[in-house]
Amino acid sequence: MAKKQWATATEIGLQSVTDPLAAYRQPPVLPVRNPVAAARPLDAGITAFKDGRFRDAVAALTDATKADATDAVSWYFLGAAKLALGQVDQGKDDIRQGAAREAASNVPTRMINAALSPIQGPARDAITAARP
């Protein structure tokens, strides 16, 4: 039987007394993925990002991550777009989500590198620092 959410929260809270990073040490729980449904908004988000339309990129990439939360590239681009909009904390959190997804993925690193090539500057530095 699955553990209740309040029990999990209590357990993590108790662990946090001695380990301030206890909440972050939990494995990511990934929802059902639908890569086919994610493909169109991911493409639209990357195109908007390349064109400098960061608000449009955030909207499209949010849809892409909802459709396939396991895709590290969607999370990385979402974080980069938010950083470009000045949403630093949210952007860095999305980049960390991308790193967690990449670590759990079987997609070759070189393919992710190629997909991330349009991201440059401080956003790329943040992604490089977070990647596994």
Q: Which domains does the chain have, with CATH numbers?
A: 33-130 (1.25.40.10)
Q: Would you say 111 and 98 are in contact if contact means Cβ atoms under 8 Å apart?
A: no
Rounded to whole angstroms, how far apart are CA atoms 26 and 9? 11
Q: Model confidence over 23-44: pLDDT tens digits? A: 766 666 656 677 788 899 999 9
Mean residue pLDDT of the chain comes to 88
Q: Residue 55 in 3-state DSSP?
A: helix
Q: What is the pLDDT of residue 28?
A: 61
Residue 36 CA to its chain's centroid (Å): 18
Q: What is Dmax (Cα atoms) for the chain? A: 48
Q: What is the pLDDT of residue 19?
A: 74
* Between residues 7 and 48, the one the model is more confident about: 48
Half-sphere exposure for 62 (CA within 13 Å, toward CB):
10
